[in-house]
Amino acid sequence: MSRSLSNKDAGFRNKQERAEYFLLDERRLRQTKVTDLDRKLWEKVIQFSDFFEDMLFTPGTITYPFLECKISDDNGNEIAPTAVLPVGLHNFNYNSFYYRVREMTPPYMACFNKANYSLKVDPRHIDDDYVILHEMIHMHEFVLEIYPTYYHDAILYSLYHDLRSKIEDLDRRMERQGHIVMQEELAQFGGVHDLLFLLKSFDLDLRMNYPLGTVFGYGMAD
């Protein structure tokens, strides 16, 4: 039985439509006051945005081939049309989210809140780039959750295919982190951190020259 939409969903045909509306509604941010630290956080997110183009299937990234289709026209000429991305991925904009630098209760350093589309960082960690990168993965996975899982799976496979030649013990690390007991313990403390999250965190570690596990956190750093 499908669950009926709540009052907050009134006017939307389904959850996806509601999520896309709020994801693309930049007016919310223009109507809010921001501090200098809030702006600094936003600037850091924009600075790192190029690292996440693969999670948006941008041309030239490791995920883009999953959109390409090679076919021949009636004259036998090969053409390569691309699949059409859903609006939340095609029109993704970092300005659709709130950025807040506010004190948090230790040991929490930052969080991404799905309910109000906000990324919050404790001021003591505003210069810890690995903390911001961690939350940016959560942000992009939140967008992926709106859509069918094949978008998520395409990114996961692409990252695995790219990283397996760069990280000698990648399979062992994935098996350890993907173990149900490990996932359950982590979910109770810090929410879901699936294998896509793990792989993307390794990708960012390599880009930033961090020890593996730095972006993932939770004591995983080598």
Q: What's the confidence (pLDDT) of residue 20?
A: 66
Q: What's the confidence (pLDDT) of residue 212?
A: 96
Q: What's the confidence (pLDDT) of residue 184?
A: 78
pTM summary value: 0.83
**96, 119 in Cβ contact below 8 A?**
no
Percent of the chain past pLDDT 90, that is, above it, reads 59
**172, 179 in Cβ contact below 8 A?**
no
Residue with tokens 């956190």: 217
In a domain, 192, yes or no: yes
pLDDT tens column, 42-77? 999 999 999 999 999 999 999 999 998 777 666 766
Most confident of the ranges 70-79, 124-133, 187-196: 124-133
Average pLDDT, the chain: 85
79 band by pLDDT with thresholds 50, 70 and 90:
low
Please say if the pLDDT value at position 175 is more than 70.
yes
In a domain, 127, yes or no: yes
Residue type, 129: D
In a domain, 222, yes or no: no
Report the number of distinct structural domains present in the chain: 1
202 band by pLDDT with thresholds 50, 70 and 90:
very high
Please say if the pLDDT value at position 80 is more than 90.
no
**Domain region containing 66:** 20-71+78-208
In a domain, 11, yes or no: no
CA distances 211 to 109, 130, 215, Å, are: 19, 11, 9
Q: What's the confidence (pLDDT) of residue 203?
A: 98
In a domain, 8, yes or no: no
In a domain, 202, yes or no: yes
CA distance 61 to 73: 26
In a domain, 155, yes or no: yes
In a domain, 169, yes or no: yes
Q: What's the confidence (pLDDT) of residue 4?
A: 30
